[in-house]
Amino acid sequence: DGGITQSPKYLFRKEGQNVTLSCEQNLNHDAMYWYRQDPGQGLRLIYYSQIVNDFQKGDIAEGYSVSREKKESFPLTVTSAQKNPTAFYLCASSPGQRYGYTFGSGTRLTIV
C-alpha cells in the first residue's frame, strides 16, 4: 500500500544535540512538507520541497535544515540552534496544487 512513513514515532534527545527525523513516501508525490504542532496549537510550516534538489523555508525555518536528494525522502534535522524543539513533527506529501496533503503518523520529539 502507498503511504508516507515517519520514524521514529517517539524521540528523546539531550539539549544541544542535533537530531534527524525521517520521512519517506511511496506515493510518487512531487511535493513534501514538514510541519510542527505544539499542544493546543495549529500546524506551522517549517520547510517544503516541490521538486527534488529544491526546497524553501516555511514560516518557522530557523533552527531546522532539510535535504531532498530523492523524490521519496525528505529528512528534517532539528539543530541545537532551535530554541524550543519539543513538539509533534508531521511530514506530508502532495501530488499538486489542487490536492490536499497525505500526512505521516508523526514524530514526537522531546528534549530532555
Partner 1 sequence: RKEVEQDPGPFNVPEGATVAFNCTYSNSASQSFFWYRQDCRKEPKLLMSVYSSGNEDGRFTAQLNRASQYISLLIRDSKLSDSATYLCVVNPTGTASKLTFGTGTRLQVTL
Q: Residues interacting with partner 1, by CB under 8 A?
A: 31, 33, 35, 41-43, 45, 48, 50, 58, 88, 90, 94, 96-106
| Residue whose CB is less far from partner 1, 2 or 96 | 96
79 neighbors 65 (Cβ within 8 angstroms): yes
Q: Is 108 left (phi over 0), alpha (psi -120 to 50) or beta?
A: beta
Determine the number of helices (DSSP H) and then strands (DSSP E) in the chain: 0, 11
Nearest to partner 1 of 2, 42 (CB atom): 42
Of 57, 53, 66, the C-alpha closest to 23 is 66
Which amino acid is located at 46 in the chain? I
User: Which CB sits closer to partner 1, 78 or 92?
Assistant: 92
Minimum separation from the CB atom of position 68 to partner 1 (A): 15
**Closest distance to partner 1 from the beta carbon of 110 (Å):** 13
| Cβ at position 101, least distance to partner 1 in Å | 6
